[in-house]
Amino acid sequence: MMMQLAGKKALVTGASRGIGMAIALAYAVEGADVAVTGRSLEKLAPVVDKMHAMGRKAVALEWDVSCVKGVDSRIEETAEKLGGLDLVVNNAGVIRSERFLSVTEEGWDAVMDTNLKGLYFSCQAAANHMIKKGIKGRIINIASDAGLRGAPVPYGISKWGVIGLTKGIAGLLLPHGILVAAIAPGPVTTEMMNWEPGKPVEITSPFGRMAYPEEIAQLAVFLASQGASRIAGDTIVINGGL
């Protein structure tokens, strides 16, 4: 069976666990060489080992996306280590437990710096690299259905911004052959869902369960494939009918 991403070079941020890890592994299964980022090389090591076992080139980069200084050089470093860069998945994200009436400036900045500011400049650096190299690549941003429902807390607002950014830059990059799209998952069985200590998450869904990270990853594979060659600026919601 032909692999959908054979020969592609991909970067997945925030890939030590959850959705990011699932996307990185799914890309490797489909033939891509993959660079993964996170704040701990130790936590990224098992992901890299699994991709190496598939016969893929895989590299880990210690990278806090909230620190945007030097992001251009990090993208260039990634491309150099992989031998190119065709796909960028901006997945890294954080969530905090404060409610609207108790959000602090520090809490606001902690979320926005990673979820929106970091993602914005990652998109910019990836786009500049692809344009400079003449690469007709893909940029896939991980948003959330929380960004579509109206949100009184920084997490949902940041994801609303991701959806708007995706739409806004898609038209600018399309003439360069670069396609930009976003995925807006509903609740997924990841550690991030346990963001409020002592309060187990209960989700009512027509499916009777939350999504698995691997299900989100399959959509990310599609958006990186030739089958998604007409998708630009769109946010695909995958929330199980909620």
Q: How far apart are CA 89 and CA 184, in angstroms?
A: 13
Of the candidates 53, 56, 14, which has an alpha carbon nearest to the alpha carbon of residue 34? 56
Write down the catalytic residue from 27, 120, 155, 212: 155
Residues in the chain: 242
Q: What's the farthest any 2 CA atoms get from each other in the chain?
A: 54
Q: How far apart are CA 141 and CA 159, in angstroms?
A: 10
Q: How far apart are CA 21 and CA 203, in angstroms?
A: 23
Q: Which two tokens stand for residue 17?
A: 């666990």
Q: How far apart are CA 55 and CA 68, in angstroms?
A: 32
- Under DSSP, the state recorded for 39 is S
Q: Which two tokens stand for residue 103?
A: 């959000």
Would you tell me the crossing angle of helices 119-133 and 154-173 to the nearest 10 degrees?
Answer: 20
- Is 155 designated active site? yes
Q: Which amino acids are annotated catalytic?
A: 155
